[in-house]
Structure 1
Amino acid sequence: MEKELKTMKNMERAAVILVILVVATLTYTQVMVNKVAAMASSGEFAQQAGSAGNEAASSQTSVIPTGMPRLYGEELGVSYDDISPYDQRKADEAIKRLAYLDNYIELAPEELERYIKIGMQISCEYCCGAEAIIFRNGQAACGCAHSYAMRGVAKFLLREHPNDFTDDEILEELGKWKTLFFPGQMQGKAAALEQNGIEFNYINLASNKYRGIEQGLSAGGGMVGGC
């Protein structure tokens, strides 16, 4: 009998402890729920999440241009968004549209002078490896589709918008298209520029000014559109 009473007391004690634990757990859970709800209503939670997201994004900021190019985008029916590794067919069509301009437009002497100055500053080194997309006489130095497209953009802007774009602005446009053609390599080069304290712009990124600075760093490869 005494043994049975002792067993019952132990069971009662265990039941009391279990009830206490359950109550404590429920209380803690409710406190945390109330805290999260208060943070959400005040916007604090969103701010903290946004801050963490911004920190992650800052180290992986994309260099890919998006949207419609100024002036000539609507005129030619092309967008930076046309060049995507997820739609090679659309990318090839856009590249062909720009490349056609290289063969179609014959530059006047004063246009050719600017064209040579611009074209000698940028290359297609990830594809054909040429020193620049043109020779010093203005003739094509690389036969890949990417070079044709960049030359086409330069010729069109010199012909149709000679006063709307400076030489550097045209070079920047070529740099944007080159970045779209070689997104992995350009992302790696952007990281190298940042590590060396060099300002980001599309001339620094895509022209020959800092060509090869990304060598030795881990960078993506591949290209968008046919070579």
Structure 2
Amino acid sequence: MKLPFLENKKNVLNLVLLGLLTTSIVTNQTVLANTKKIIGVNHGVLSSIGSIKLFSNTKLTGNLSEDATKISFKQGIPEKYGPELNVNFDQVQGAIDILKQYDPGYGRQKISLAGEEKQRYINVGRKISCEYCCGVDGIVFANGEAACGCAHSQAMRGLAAYLIKNHGPEYTDDQILRELAAWKGRYFPKQMVQKTMDQIQSGKYTPDIAALLLDVKLPKYGANDIKSPAPSDLENAPGMVGGC
């Protein structure tokens, strides 16, 4: 036999519990929304972290030293291969350890290239050097062999080989060179910022700096208003300065 007063108490208790549950859900959603707003998810700071565009969207101010830093000192996660390989411009040593594994010459997980792929690898590798560490004309010789055994060169060769093998149709040689030059800027930030400043002022570019300036519209810096060439338009690979 059901007693009416017990049923009424049960109904009241259910309503109270339902009210508490609803309040809890609303409160949690409000806190979550506020937290996301504070850390920037709603404004793309974190929501776009896997597809950060670091090159053509670089906004320059006309201040040469500031702009040279923006151009040569990249931050965040590179597009496409960044999430794939778990590499980040802000974690340089970790990225070196990952990328150098794919070096066709020294890597533990060597990427083998032949035919057109190998020729692209040579074309890119001959246009960038590790002049602040090694004393050769490029990170590869004309036959595709490794020209320097330092970790920086291994990482750049590894990245070049990885992009050619896994994303070949998606990148031109100049764009692959741009990725290598971006890492070079993190390996040698002081030297690369100065090199970028000097070449913007002179209007004479080596392929690595020209690659960093792909799709970047330079403002006027004093009397200088010289458009940077594409790396593929430059005949000579950059010379090396100093040694290891």
1:64 aligns with one of 73, 78, 90: 73
Post-superposition CA distance 1:68-93 (Å, at most 9, x none): 1110000000011112xxxxxxx2x3
Alignment equivalent of 1:154, drawn from 153, 160, 166: 160
- Displacement of 1:96 in angstroms is 1.3
Please name the residue that 2:111 is paired with.
Answer: 105
Distance, in Å, in 1 between the alignment partners of 2:62 and 2:182 is 24
Paired amino acid for 1:189? K
Of the three residues 176, 184, 192, the one matched with 2:182 is: 176
Whether the 8 Å contact between 1:132 and 1:141 is mirrored in structure 2 is yes
**Equivalences for 1:78-227 in 2 at 5 Å?**
78-83=87-92, 91=93, 93-102=94-103, 103=107, 104-197=110-203, 203-204=209-210, 211=238
Which amino acid letter does the alignment assign opposite residue 180 of structure 1? R
Give the drift of 1:59.
Answer: 3.6
8 Å Cα contact 2:207/2:237 also seen in 1: no
Counterpart amino acid of residue 137 in structure 1? N
Q: Distance in 1 between matches of 2:151 and 2:133?
A: 10
Letter in 1 for 2:188: F
Larger Rg: 1
TM-score (norm 2): 0.56
Q: 1:110 to 1:58 in 2, by over 3 A?
A: closer
1:224 counterpart residue number: none
Amino acid at match of 1:98: L
In structure 2, the CA distance between the partners of 1:55 and 1:110, relative to structure 1 (3 Å rule), is: closer
Q: How many residues align?
A: 154
Shift of 1:194: 2.4
TM-score, normalised via structure 1 length? 0.60
User: Closer, same or farther in 2 for the Cα pair 1:69/1:201, shift >3 Å?
Assistant: farther
Return the alpha-carbon distance in structure 2 between the equivalents of residues 141 and 202 of structure 1: 17
Q: 2: CA distance between counterparts of 1:137 and 1:199?
A: 25
Aligned-residue Cα RMSD (Å) equals 2.9
Higher relative contact order (CA 8 A, sep 6+): 2
Q: Give the structure with the higher percent helix.
A: 1
Match of 1:9 in 2: none
Cα distance between partner residues in 1 of 2:182 and 2:123: 18
Assess, with a 3 A threshold, how the Cα gap between structure 1 residues 114 and 126 changes in structure 2: closer, same or farther: same
Matched AA of 2:136: A
SS in 1 for 2:90: helix
Can you give the 5+ residue segments of structure 1 that lack an aligned partner in the other structure? Answer: 1-53, 84-90, 216-226
Moved more, 147-156 or 112-121: 112-121
Question: Sequence identity, in percent?
Answer: 44
Contact 1:204 / 1:210 at 8 angstroms: preserved in 2? Answer: no
